[in-house]
Structure 1
């Protein structure tokens, strides 16, 4: 827990239901007098109501969920701080960074020699008919069933070099590489130096990671421009 005190612990324990003073004191291993002191402060802040039981107000529920999310993100990030601290995360919109712990089931795949070491595994996780969404800031150095790309968000500089994807959307610089299907997700991020890290990335078939990846794609698509190949023979 990034912040730990009695007031925060009371808020987190009230996330699911209300409790009486004596129950909170027993759960937290503190005196009833200390619980009463902190509950009074929380009441003054408009975060709890006190009747027969102590319950969160609507404001309290918002704060409780934010604290819970921060703690969940911290638990996730400290599992591999080196990976997250040596990459540039500016290509990920802020609202998805706040939910980065939804990628907790992702594996960090690395290789000293192989480019995008998770690509083959991604295709093993999906069926032959699964449509694929792609986000890329580089021209890929290999061909991997390009006809299966249903939608792609690419850098504007790549438009003249690709024509065999499905629907294409243009961004100035997506600063990311990502593949998303209904059953799998993988992603590479730029290094702090700016170049895309092609030797390490995330991969998962977890539903939360797939959902996170789809939200990333749809958000970037809304901020992209549809390409018209009729003007690019």
Structure 2
């Protein structure tokens, strides 16, 4: 039996209703319009200015949303209906997540995301507009200059690492001397390596009152990250074994909160190191 929405030649009947998913996501104008109405009612002038459209192109889209009871018109303003709000509240995180993954698709698609807790994977949309740090072969084992520059002027630093880098301890010593609040979390192999190669510097570092060192005893499945009052740098392990030191850098407040929450989550499983 033919669907009532289709004619004998397989085409959609004129006037047939389309599903809500198709209504929302098939049109970028309708999708952006719904997001724009999320916070408060908007006038037609505000809608046109924000979406960079004229009335001829946006009024038909508004009519479709009104017909499906997602948008309500009150005088000269438009607002989301109760059903529209329920949809848009869930739609925004999805779109933000898609935007993050598309912006750096090659990076995310080649990474093992098991080290990111599910609660933070669901908030991956907070990492919008990250800059991909990709060192060339001649600088593969050097710290990124932008990272170092911002780290040195940070007042609060949370750092985690599951890999050894010879510059870490000298760099953190320099920050500690500038009286920044520092919390460092290391895996056991990395801590052992620092004890072997930088024992005195490590002891000097943890003797600062504003420096806290902890040991993460589980398999983190995460290369490392740094979050400060200025930036967030995330390094996720690749699915393959070759570690190319690629990272994502962000200065957005949402990313800083995401990174701080990640550190707090991992710190629950860590053990404080009081002496070396």
TM-score norm. by structure 2 comes to 0.62
Instruction: Tell me which of 87, 90, 103 is aligned to 1:79.
Output: 103
How large is the Cα RMSD of the aligned pairs? 3.8
1:77-226 superposed matches below 5 A = 77-97=101-121, 98-100=123-125, 102-127=127-152, 130-142=155-167, 143-147=169-173, 148=176, 150-162=182-194, 164=202, 165=206, 166-174=212-220, 175-194=222-241, 196-198=243-245, 200-222=246-268, 224-226=269-271
Distance 1:127 1:209, change over 3 A: same
The answer to whether the Cα contact below 8 Å between 1:178 and 1:185 also exists between their aligned partners in 2 is: yes
The answer to whether the Cα contact below 8 Å between 1:106 and 1:209 also exists between their aligned partners in 2 is: no
Measure, in 2, the Cα distance between the counterparts of 1:173 and 1:124. 30
TM-score norm. by structure 1 comes to 0.70
Secondary structure in 1 aligned to 2:139?
coil
Distance 1:57 1:213, change over 3 A: same
Question: Could you tell me how far 1:76 is from its partner in structure 2?
Answer: 3.9
Distance 1:16 1:193, change over 3 A: same
Question: Could you tell me how far 1:189 is from its partner in structure 2?
Answer: 1.6
Question: Could you tell me how far 1:228 is from its partner in structure 2?
Answer: 4.2
Whichever of the two has the greater Rg, that structure is 2
Question: Could you tell me how far 1:40 is from its partner in structure 2?
Answer: 4.5
1:25-44 superposed matches below 5 A = 27=55, 29=57, 38-41=65-68, 43=69
Distance 1:8 1:158, change over 3 A: same
The answer to whether the Cα contact below 8 Å between 2:160 and 2:226 also exists between their aligned partners in 1 is: yes
Gaps of at least 5 residues in structure 1 are: none
Deviations 1:78-109 (A, max 9, x none): 33322222222222233433334534142433
Bigger helix fraction: 2
The answer to whether the Cα contact below 8 Å between 1:122 and 1:185 also exists between their aligned partners in 2 is: no
Secondary structure in 2 aligned to 1:84?
helix
Question: Could you tell me how far 1:190 is from its partner in structure 2?
Answer: 0.8
Instruction: Tell me which of 43, 46, 56 is aligned to 2:80.
Output: 56
Secondary structure in 1 aligned to 2:159?
strand
